[in-house]
A and B are shown apart, each in its own frame.
Chain A
Amino acid sequence: MTEFYRISLLRVKALSWLLILTIVLCLPSGCLTISSVNHLRQAQETFNKAASIENQSRFDPKKETELNANIKSSEGLTSAQSGYAAALVILRRMPDEEKEALKKEKLMGVKLTLEGLVLWRLGKYKEALDITDQVERDAKGQIYPRDSIIIRALPDLIKIDLAKTMIQEAEYSNNEEKKKVLNKVVPLLVEMDTTKASRHWSAVQHIKAIRQKLNKTHPIHSYLIQAQLAAYRNYKVAFTSISDSSHKFVPDDDKYKKEASYNLKDLEVLITKLEKPEISAKLKRYWAIRCNIKPEETTVE
C-alpha cells in the first residue's frame, strides 16, 4: 500500500468517525422532536386505517339491501372503532415534553384536530367539542387550512351522529314520542334558519356556510358535501319512519330535499372537475337512491 493510499484511508476513517460523532451529538436535541412526531404520525396512520375501514363498510355494496342493517354492529365498524381507540391511546399517552415539542414544531393544531376526530368517532362528543375550544387556546397560529375546516365542521358532524341515534331510538316509541324526536332532529340536521345564532344552525346550514368561504377547488368539498347529504339522508329516514303513516315520502317541494338536490349537483360538478368520471356516476347514484332524488334533477349542464 502506498503512502498516498494509507493517508487517504486514514482520512476517510477519521471522516466517518466524525460524522458518527456529529450525528450522535445532534441527537439529544432532536430526539424529543423525533419521538413526538413519530407518535403523531403513528396516530395519523392508525386513524387513517380505521377511517378507511369505516368508509368501506358504509359503501360496501353487500350492505345496500341488508335487512335491518345496523351499521354500528357490523364487523368492519367494530374494527374501525378499535383503530380509533388505539389512535386515542397514542395521542393521550404522549408525555408533556413531547406535547411541548409538538407545539415548538407548530404541530399542535395537527395533533388536536386528529384527537377531535378520534373522540368524535368514538362517540365522546362532549370531549370532542372541548377540543374545538382547546384548539383556540393551545394551537394559535398552528392550525392549517384542512384542520381548521375540520375543527369548524366537527360540531356539525356530531349533530348528524346524534340525530341518527335519536331516530334509531325512536323507532320503538309511540307516535307522540316519534313526533317529538322529529321536531328535535330537524333543527340538528337540515333546518335553514338564519335568524338563529350560527352555533344553533343545523349541520347542513353550517356546513354550507363553511363551504361558501372555501376555495372552489379545495379537495375537502367532496367530504363536506357528502356530510350534508348524510344529514339529509337521516332527515329523510326520520320523516318517513317516525312521523305518522301519511308521510310515505318526502315531497319534491320540500325545501330540505331541494337543498339536497343542489348539494348532489355540486358533488357531481366537483367530481367531474376532479376528472374522476368512474366515481362520479356511481357516487351520484349512491346518494340519489338514498335521498330519493331523481338523477336528472341534478344533471350537470
Chain B
Amino acid sequence: MVTSSATLVLFAIRSAVKLGQQAMIAYVDSTRRRELTLPLPDFFSSLSVNDAVAFFETIGKRFVDGYEINGEFVKGSKRLKLLLNKVENQSIQKEEEEELKTFHTEFWNLDSAESGNLLWEKNVYVDPIAINALITVRQWRRGADPTSSTLQRIAGTFVEIGVDYALISPDLFDKNSSTGKALTAFLQAMDEIPFSEADLSELPFRMFIATMETVSEHAELASGDQKVQELIRVTAMALSTDVAARIKEINNSGLNAIEKRNARFRIEEWAELVFRSTLASGGRLVVSDPGRYLGMKDAGGQALVTNVGGSVLDLILIQKNGNLDTVFSRAGLETVLAASLKTVGEHPEILTDTNNEGLRKLLSQIATDLSQVENLLNRDILPEIARMTLERSAENIDVFWPDLKNHPEKNLLLTAAKNTLEILSRKPEKAETWKPSFSRSDLLTVTEAVFDEFVANPSWLIDKSGEINNVLRDVLKAALDVLRNRGDRCLSTAVARDVLCEVLKAAALRKEFFDKLPPDHSQAGQQIIIAAIDAVLATIFSEALDAKAAWQLLRSDVITGLVKVSLNEMAKSKLDAGTIAKLEEVLKNEVESLVEGKAFNLDSFSKALSESLQA
C-alpha cells in the first residue's frame, strides 16, 4: 500500500505526464518515419505498334516468315509478316494494330520462356499491388532508424513508472533487510535511466537478478552497508549507460536483424557478468576502503570502481584481435576485475593521469600482444597474464609503466610476458630431440618467475633509457634451446618449467653468469650459465649413459635438483671456463659412482661440487 494519498496522487500525475509526453514523441517519430508510396514519373507504359516492330526487327526476328537470319530465310508466321508490311506501307488498320501488338506480347513471352528467363505461367503480368509494396519506401533503411520505436517508448515509460512506484512503496520489499537495501540501490540506479530513450533490452532484469543473487552469496554485501548500496547504484548506473550506448551503435549498424540480436545478447551477457564480478570483487574492497573506490573520482568524475567495470567490458567486447568470448570465463573475468580494482585503487593516477584511458589501453594491449604470439594455444591465460601484469606493475609503477601519461599501453612487464610466451611457444625444429608443448600452468609459472626477477632486479634488467634489455630473454631462450636439444621424451614439460625457473633465479645471483666462454673453449661464445645447464643435461640425457645411472638420474626431482644445486654452488665460486670443466668432472664422477651401484644423493653431489669449485 502506498504511504499516503498525496504521494499516490503526485505519483499518478507524474506518471500521466510522463506517459503523455512519450506518446506524443512516439506520434511525431512515427510521422517522420512513415512510409511513402512513390509514384513513378510519366512514361509510355502502354505497348505500341512501334514496340512490336522494334521487337520483330531484333529479338523476335525468328518468328517472322521470310526474314533473313545468317543467310537463311525464316519459316515463321505469314500473317505477322503481312501485318509488318502493312506498318511499313502505313496501310495498317486499327484492328490489325491490335493483332500485331498481341503477336508482340505472345511471341515475347514465348521467347522468354524458351530461353529459360521466364517461367511459363498463366499470368505473366506483374501485380500492381506488389509493385506498390516494392516502391513504398521507409524513411530509414531497415535497422538504421535512430529513433526509438513506439513500443519501446511506451514500454520504457511503463518501466520507469514501475520503478517510481517501487521506490515510493515500502510494502514491495522490506527496506531494512540487506536485500531490500540492495534492491533500493539498484532501483535508484534504474530510476536515473531514461528507459524510453535508451534501449537496454533485458539488461535491467538480468542485473536485478544478479543483484539479488550476488548479495545473498557474499557476506560482505549482505551487511546492508550504505557503501555497498552506493557500489550497487554506481555500478548498475554506469554499466546501463555504457550498454545503452553500445546497443544503440549496434542498432545503427549495417548488421542484419539476426546479427543485431546476437550482438545485443552478447553485450547483455558480458555486462551482466561484469556487474556480478564488480559486486563480488568490489564489495570487500569498497567496504574496507570506501573513500578510495567510491569517493575518489576518475578524470570524468566517475567513481573508480565504475571505470574498471567499463574497461573490462571494453576488453571483451571491442577486441579487434579475435573473439575473446572463449578466453574469458566468469572466473577469468573476476580475476581481471579484482586485479584491476586493486591496482587502480592503489594507483588512481592510472586513470586520473590518462584521461581514464590507462587501464582500458593496457588491457587492450595485453589482448593484442597475446594474440600476436605465434603458436600460443592457451589463449585462456590472458586473464592471469593481465592480473600478474597489473599486480606486479603496481609494485614499482614508475619503472614498469614508464610513460603512463602518454603511452599507458606501454608496460615493461607486458613486454617481458610477451617475450617469454613467444620463447615458450616457439614451434620445434626438426633437428631438436625434445618437442615440448607447455601447459597453461607451465606458461604462467615461467612468466611469473620472469616477473619475479624483474621486480627483484629492475636495475640490471632495465636500461637507463627505461627499455628492457635482452639479458633475461636471451638466457631463457638459450636455456630452453639446451632443453630442446639435450632432452628427450623422458623430460616432462613440468621438469623443464622447473629447470627454467631455477635458471631464472640463479641468473639474478651473479652477473658473471652471463659472461661468455673464451674463443679457445669448446663452447666458445656461450654464456656460462647456459654452458652449465648444458653440462648437466648432457650428462643426464647422454645416449651413452649406463642404464643403472640413467635409472636414478632421469627422475624429475633429480634433474631439477642437479640444475639447482649446480647453479647455486657455481654462484658461490669464481665463474669462468674452468668452472664448467670442474662441473663436468664432478658430474662424470657422480655417474661413475652410480654405475658402480651407489645411490644418488643430492647433498653428496652438492658437497663434492662445492669442494671441487673451491679447490
With A110-B31, A145-B140, A289-B47 known to touch, is A230 a contact of B17 (CB < 8 Å)?
A: no
Query: B137: which A residues are within 8 A, CB to CB?
Result: 146, 219-220, 223
Query: B125: which A residues are within 8 A, CB to CB?
Result: 59, 61, 64, 282, 286
Is B8 in contact with A219, judged by CB distance below 8 angstroms?
no
Query: A37: which B residues are within 8 A, CB to CB?
Result: 27-28, 31
Query: B602: which A residues are within 8 A, CB to CB?
Result: none
Residue with the greatest number of chain B CB neighbours at <10 A, chosen from A58, A65, A105, A271 = A65
In the assembled complex, the CB of A105 is this many whole angstroms from the nearest CB of chain B, namely: 5
Query: A249: which B residues are within 8 A, CB to CB?
Result: 53-55, 57-58
Residue of B nearest to A65 (CB): B101
Stretch from B127-135, B491-499, B500-508, B541-549 forming part of the interface with A: B127-135
Query: B141: which A residues are within 8 A, CB to CB?
Result: 145, 215, 217-219
Residue with the greatest number of chain A CB neighbours at <10 A, chosen from B5, B111, B125, B134 = B134
Is A276 in contact with B27, judged by CB distance below 8 angstroms?
no
**Complex: A237 Cα to B34 Cα, angstroms:** 36
Is A65 in contact with B50, judged by CB distance below 8 angstroms?
no
With A55-B37, A71-B45, A292-B58 known to touch, is A276 a contact of B17 (CB < 8 Å)?
A: no
Is B46 in contact with A71, judged by CB distance below 8 angstroms?
yes
Is B42 in contact with A164, judged by CB distance below 8 angstroms?
yes
In the assembled complex, the CB of A11 is this many whole angstroms from the nearest CB of chain B, namely: 6
In the assembled complex, the CB of B356 is this many whole angstroms from the nearest CB of chain A, namely: 31
With A23-B20, A51-B37, A296-B117 known to touch, is A18 a contact of B50 (CB < 8 Å)?
A: no
Of the candidates B45, B124, B134, the one whose C-beta lies within 8 Å of that of A63 is: B45
Query: What are the interface flags for A54-92 relative to B under an 8 Å C-beta threshold, 1 for contact and 0 otherwise?
Result: 111111110111110101100000001000000000000
Of the candidates A47, A57, A72, A295, the one whose C-beta lies within 8 Å of that of B117 is: A295
Of the candidates A18, A26, A59, A114, the one whose C-beta lies within 8 Å of that of B12 is: A18
In the assembled complex, the CB of A143 is this many whole angstroms from the nearest CB of chain B, namely: 10
Is B44 in contact with A233, judged by CB distance below 8 angstroms?
yes
Residue with the greatest number of chain A CB neighbours at <10 A, chosen from B31, B119, B142 = B31
A96 beta carbon closer than 8 Å to chain B: no
With A41-B31, A285-B126 known to touch, is A121 a contact of B47 (CB < 8 Å)?
A: no
In the assembled complex, the CB of A162 is this many whole angstroms from the nearest CB of chain B, namely: 9
Is A292 in contact with B126, judged by CB distance below 8 angstroms?
no
Residue of A nearest to B58 (CB): A249
A279 beta carbon closer than 8 Å to chain B: yes
Of the candidates B9, B28, B38, B43, the one whose C-beta lies within 8 Å of that of A233 is: B43
Is B44 in contact with A164, judged by CB distance below 8 angstroms?
yes
**Complex: A276 Cα to B126 Cα, angstroms:** 12
B32 beta carbon closer than 8 Å to chain A: yes
Residue with the greatest number of chain A CB neighbours at <10 A, chosen from B12, B35, B42 = B42
**Complex: A226 Cα to B42 Cα, angstroms:** 11
B569 beta carbon closer than 8 Å to chain A: no
**Complex: A240 Cα to B50 Cα, angstroms:** 7
B490 beta carbon closer than 8 Å to chain A: no
Is A296 in contact with B115, judged by CB distance below 8 angstroms?
yes
Query: B134: which A residues are within 8 A, CB to CB?
Result: 222-223, 271, 274, 276, 279, 283
A112 beta carbon closer than 8 Å to chain B: no
Is A11 in contact with B41, judged by CB distance below 8 angstroms?
no
**Using a CB-CB cutoff of 8 Å, which residues 264-301 of chain A contact chain B?**
271, 274, 276, 278-279, 281-286, 288-290, 292, 294-296, 299
A150 beta carbon closer than 8 Å to chain B: yes
In the assembled complex, the CB of B110 is this many whole angstroms from the nearest CB of chain A, namely: 12
A161 beta carbon closer than 8 Å to chain B: yes
Query: B111: which A residues are within 8 A, CB to CB?
Result: 294
**Complex: A92 Cα to B46 Cα, angstroms:** 34
Query: What are the interface flags for B77-114 relative to A under an 8 Å C-beta threshold, 1 for contact and 0 otherwise?
Result: 00000000000000000100110011011001101100
Query: B55: which A residues are within 8 A, CB to CB?
Result: 249, 289, 292
Query: What are the interface flags for B52-68 relative to A under an 8 Å C-beta threshold, 1 for contact and 0 otherwise?
Result: 01110111000000000
**Using a CB-CB cutoff of 8 Å, which residues 7-36 of chain A contact chain B?**
11, 14-15, 18-19, 22-23, 26, 30, 33-34
Is B58 in contact with A52, judged by CB distance below 8 angstroms?
no
Query: A107: which B residues are within 8 A, CB to CB?
Result: 28, 31-32
Is B46 in contact with A63, judged by CB distance below 8 angstroms?
yes
Is B44 in contact with A165, judged by CB distance below 8 angstroms?
no
With A217-B141, A292-B54 known to touch, is A164 a contact of B43 (CB < 8 Å)?
A: yes
**Complex: A48 Cα to B36 Cα, angstroms:** 6
Ordered by A's residue number, 9 sampled pairs between the chains whose C-beta atoms are within 8 Å are: A26-B17, A40-B31, A50-B39, A55-B39, A65-B105, A105-B28, A164-B44, A222-B134, A282-B125
Top 5 closest pairs, chain A to chain B, by CB? A249-B54, A61-B125, A295-B117, A69-B46, A230-B43
